[in-house]
Amino acid sequence: MIRQISVFVENQPGSMMNVTNVLTEAHVNIRAISTFDTPEFGIMRLVVDDPVRAKESLTSKGFVNRVNDVIGAELKDEKGNLNQMLKILADGQINVNYIYSFVIREGKAPVMVFHTDDFEKAESVLKQADVKLVEEAEL
């Protein structure tokens, strides 16, 4: 299991940089990032090397944030691998709430990060299908 931090930011120039600045000052390394926006605010989802320090630093600077679990599945960079993983989850009747990827892993395969309502079942069906799951320490 991987812990992800979600940060709520205003939808205005510099708001994402303000978040990354706090993390930089706290010596937190960002491994993956995804953003979603609405007209009023955005949500930054980040996988970092130290989620506890990231949360403490952001909270101390007034950012609304939370840490939650996500699953990381290592997929070889080959055509159809993402589709195969999503088929495994769909066949297992597992809903994927959102998904994003990161590839900078010093020579290792890319990782698809996703959130679901049933982590145990998702991990079980993926392991049964020989999909390599990534733990936070492996990032």
Question: What are the domain boundaries of the chain?
Answer: 2-67, 70-138
pLDDT exceeds cutoff 70 at 103: no
Distance CA 85, CA 132 (A): 11
Comparing CA positions, the residue from 130, 139, 94, 129 lying closest to residue 114 is 94
pLDDT exceeds cutoff 70 at 15: yes
Place of tokens 């290792």: 108
- On whether the 2-67 domain is CATH 3.30.2130.10, my answer is yes
pLDDT exceeds cutoff 80 at 80: yes
CATH of domain 70-138: 3.30.70.260
CB 104 within 8 A of CB 111: no
Identical fold between 2-67 and 70-138 = no
pLDDT exceeds cutoff 80 at 10: yes
